[in-house]
Structure 1
Amino acid sequence: MNIITVSRLVGSYGDDIASKVAEKMGLEFVGRTGLHELAMSCDLEYREACTLYETEHGPGFFERLFFDRPSHKSLFEALTYEQAGRGNVVMVGRGAQIVLHDLPGVFCVGVIASRVNRVQRIMQKLGIPLEEAEYYVDKYDAERITLIKTVFDKDPTDLMLYNLLINTDHYTAENAADVIVHAIGKMDKRPDGDQLVETLKNMALAKRIEALVRRKLTSAVAGNVEISAEPGGVIRISGRIREKADRARVEKIAAEYSGVTQVVNELKVTDLTFRV
């Protein structure tokens, strides 16, 4: 089973390369619309907000919508795990290389190119003058770094996030895809596919419950609540919360979620109420 993430700089041919890798390996390509459509189909609140954002601002505001609230971030992580759990996928952008980084067998690719070449490519692709292309590239670079740092507290330029970093200054998209396919074929220590699917399924369940808890109790109340899932539908709740009543509410939300068979509540109550 292959799970590949592709992170790219604008103008680096990253999307084309990811598509070609999927085609060459017979994998499903999951780009902007794939995750977007899945999110729209599974969460009513998100769907309504997403429709409003698209109507007023256009699809480019997709990321802002997801990360305006921690509950949306948890939902995004759940969707990423679910997409990956289907197996044999190439996932592009959206911080998937960070969400899936620590999982064995996930191959994370970073696609880069020099600013000069990226500006030239954007000029040709969009038919815009040099100054506009430079602004376009610099704006996207800055927004990408800010988004990843804000949401995941990670630096997307950290080389340790990637199994392979490829510079397309001297590669066509086709040749770069060939290099990636070859590198994936040389991977060792491939995990058991069934075990990886089960792990991803548990992680997705945990993040869906975490998203629901943060939405119902608000992030101010449940921002330090962490949910993990174990085989057989066992949910473990850890972290801190201020009120005993909220501790019980978190447990109730988790216990009522479909597929949950047992809840282990290890939440610590910090009760900082001051009495005079």
Structure 2
Amino acid sequence: MDLELRQLRAFLAVASELHFSRAARRLHVSQPALSQQIRALEKTLGTALFDRSSRATELTAAGRVLFEAAPRVLSEAERAQSLVTQAANGAVGLLTVGSVGTALASITPRILRSVRAAFPDLQLEVSQHDTSAQLVALADGRLDVGLVRAAQPTDAVAVEHLVSEPLLCAVPADHPLAVGPTVDPRSLADEPFVLWPRALGRAFFDIIVSYCLGHGFSPRIVVEGADIETQLGLVAAGLGVSLQPSYYANLRPPGVVFLPLDGEVPQVALQIAYRRTDRSPAVAHFVATAKELAEAA
């Protein structure tokens, strides 16, 4: 059976009007053309849909059944067409998003809100990962897009800049350095450091080490933390000082004071990453939205 949607629409017009001429005017077609469509539909279904034996046009029993079913068929067909169009435009489906913690507490929610407002039928699955884990997951296809820090592009993953933040010095609240308005980086030479493991963010780790070496010392790392909450907790406990992107100062952890560093300070980039081979419109929309919001900020 090969039903045509235009024939169903023609049928519904005649069934609603119970008059071929009025239905033809409603559809802006000639009456002979409309009659031909109805006859073709009846031939396909193998039964008459209208009783033409009297002067008035009436629905047959089969016609009444189709009159009930046809609107649902047309509605589902239109919905399917809409979904196909939305999918082609990246407005439906599932988009898996990774994000570093700072981005989740800053720009990521704004990006998600904007994408959801534009594409309410697009499912967003969001999870927190460090930069290195995101780059691996992107290359493996387990993530579609990621918000990362100080990452280097690879053969498989493209990285684009969003915003930059200066490094700040995080010290215990009872540390002598906590009373000063700023910190001379050379005064950190003999301090124990709390840092991220290099494996979780090589580029960011190397920025800190390079900064310290530029001021005549190598940081004496005494303890590492796999997430920012752990690191700041270790700083608050007095185990060491740390250098962190400025956004973490907004977290206001108890027992930790954030201070600007004297002189020229490295900028730590927040970036968006995605697979180079990904042609998904949803990914393109997400990346474009992230860049627009970052530029506005």
- TM-score between both structures, scaled by the size of structure 1: 0.24
Q: Which has the larger radius of gyration?
A: 2
The answer to which structure has the higher helix fraction is: 1
The answer to which structure has the higher strand fraction is: 2
